[in-house]
A and B are shown apart, each in its own frame.
Chain A
Amino acid sequence: MSRPQSGTGLPLRAEGVRKEYDKRVVLDVDHVEIESGQTLALLGPSGSGKSTLLSILGLLEPPTAGQVYLDGKPVSTKDTAARAQMAAAFQSPYLFKGTVADNVAYGLKLRRMPVAGRREAVAEALERVGLGGWESRSALTLSGGEAHRVALARALVLRPRVLLLDEPLSSLDPLIKMQMMQDFARIIREETMTTLYVTHDQSEAMAVGDVMVILREGKAVARGHVDDVMGLPPDEWTACFIGSEPPFRGVVIESDEGLTGIDVGGPIVWATGTLAPGTRVLVGIRPEDVLLFESGVEIPTTTARNQMAGTVTAMQLLGVMYHVVVDIDGVRLASRVSRASVREMQLERGSEVQVIFKATAVRVKPQEDGRDS
């Protein structure tokens, strides 16, 4: 889902930001940055400091320590010119009393835009969020989804360089959330603005984010491209949080014609890319990319390079899908399996299965200085 990155610089960066409330440290992040035009998904459980970091990066609240930079220059909450380049929408839409147009025009009014231009901009912004012609409706009689669209229009109408979205969809019911998530992802992609998107939902983060930072108890525990972070969680907690298994260690045994064979202490895992034999690596595979078949059944012809046998060691129902953990000669892999498939395959702990995944689904990262990480 990631889009081409313009990568023309670092409009927003924070160094050593710490926030304390009543002498309790709620955020302590050494470094975070968003490149121009990128969407940074800030993921973490409740109370991990996501909203606090958004408030600090958005110059809404000062950090206890540390510095925020916009275009390389240090900025603070008192820097109105810097703040004018940003706009935010929060978990609750917080619409002001008045009409939809009053709300969307709020920021433009503060910027003293003439009435005629304001009206045109408001109409255009409402059109973009699918609420064309809703100007005169009372803002406080809207449904949850409509109110969120108005809140997004209120931010977008300012054409900010940096858009801050703090769990904008988390209070919606699943059906509307699904629709809104697609709309938000499309709008963010079309607007090509630098975006910070705070969420505790990994599917939302994957849908909208180019890069990702995962926060735990105020600290950044993972950062990088969305696919890399989701495919190669750095530790067990992160893996568990994003619904995956921790990466396993291996050594490259051969690499040829864009394919690399890795000995992971049992099976040989094939991945795309070229690495020198002997390189120690971390290997991760997303559960969505792993298919399971009953042991002994004929597997349909497939291009999947990795096919191996394993034993189911754990099963957990997550909504409509099962998270099934399979042991393959001491290597743990997870797979997402539908309830119907679990029934059909009569899967349970101890079941023998065949495991299949493509080489392109395998994430590989060399271990730094040969150290285990």
Chain B
Amino acid sequence: MSVLVEAVVTSVRLVLQGSEEFWNVIAVTFEVAIISTIVGVLLGTPMGFLMGATRFRGRRTMIALTNTGMAIPPVVIGLLVMMMLSRKGPLGFLGMLYTVNAMSVAQTFISTPMIAGLTAAAVASIPYKLRLQARSLGASPWQEALLVIKEARLGVVAAVAAGFGAVVRGVGAVMMVGGNIEGKTRVLTTAIVQESRKGEFGTSLAYGIILMTVTFGLNGLITWYQHSSERLGRV
């Protein structure tokens, strides 16, 4: 119990006093999470729409690969990206290994299938006849796709949140390609691992509390959005 109390006190102190390292960890965490979520949205939403709302040759393979991507352990993704970016790897000339960019790339491989897979499920639930209805009122294929995404927006928002959650909570990939370098590539999850190894459970738990607060805040925001949509009859 005393450890928990100490953790809370430490987290409050960390937030109030805010050492440079502490804020740096948070900044890097959010930088990586936001970049990989944005890229994941840009890639995953159209992919999800294609898989959920259209029929084309290779669709089943694409769905299988996406589902595999959703289940693949982050550490394996980290390993693959590390191999690509290592000096001897095909992209070694970019000199990206152990940088925030490398971490963002690895995390994008985690967020994209998550967003694509859940978006596909959300848009697949929109009746085909609704699309015919839009088409019959003059919608172009783009306008039709936008309407489908808009109609499935609660599911799409949940997909984006899941993608963000997956990258913000991941350890394996960022550890592999970021190296957990203090002041440079250390993020909340790798900091927790680091502090635990040092026996600094208070600091470690403090980071954990901050991570949980972020997750709770995000989920709270989504829940509020869903409920307000229901209340206003927008769902």
Contacts and interface: CB of A to CB of B under 8 A. Distances in A.
Partners in one complex: yes
B154 to A, nearest CB: 9
Contact of A140 (B132, B137, B143, B234): B234
Contacts of B134: 96, 106
A111 interface: yes
Contacts of B235: 97, 140
A273 interface: no
* Most B Cβ at <10 Å: residue of A60, A94, A139, A154: A94
Interface in B219-235: 232-235
Contacts of B151: 96-97
Interface stretch (A79-87, A275-283, A303-311, A316-324): A79-87
Interface in A71-96: 80, 83-84, 86-90, 92, 94, 96
Nearest to A164: B136
B133 A94 contact: yes
Interface string A54-84: 0100101100000000000000000010011
Contacts of A61: 132
Interface in B139-180: 139-140, 143, 147, 150-151, 153
Contacts of A111: 138
B129 A94 contact: yes
A88 B135 CA distance: 9
Nearest to B232: A138
A110 interface: yes
Interface string A104-120: 00110011000000000
Interface residues of A, number: 29
A141 interface: yes
A47 interface: no
A110 B133 CA distance: 13
Contact of A107 (B129, B137, B140, B153): B137
A158 interface: yes
A98 interface: yes
Contact of A94 (B127, B139, B143, B153): B127
A229 interface: no
B233 A141 contact: yes
A80 B138 contact: yes
A96 B129 contact: no
Nearest to B153: A97
B76 interface: no
A17 interface: no
Nearest to A142: B233
A101 interface: no
Given A92-B129, A97-B150, A97-B151, A138 B233 contact: yes
B130 interface: yes
B235 to A, nearest CB: 7
A60 B233 contact: no
A42 interface: no
Contacts of B153: 97
Nearest to A88: B136
A138 B138 contact: no
A155 interface: yes
Contacts of A97: 150-151, 153, 234-235
A13 to B, nearest CB: 19
Contacts of B132: 55, 60-61, 88, 90
A243 B134 CA distance: 36
Given A94-B129, A97-B150, A140 B138 contact: no
A154 B138 contact: no
Contacts of A89: 133
A155 B137 contact: yes
A83 B138 contact: yes
Contact of A98 (B133, B138, B140, B234): B234
B48 to A, nearest CB: 19
B232 A110 contact: no
A110 B138 contact: yes
A308 to B, nearest CB: 50
Of B127, B130, B133, B143, most A-chain CB atoms within 10 Å: B133
B138 A88 contact: no
Interface of B: 127, 129-130, 132-140, 143, 147, 150-151, 153, 232-235
Interface of A: 55, 58, 60-61, 80, 83-84, 86-90, 92, 94, 96-98, 106-107, 110-111, 138-141, 154-155, 158, 164
* A-B pairs, 9 with minimum CB distance: A138-B233, A88-B136, A107-B137, A94-B133, A94-B130, A110-B138, A141-B233, A84-B138, A97-B234
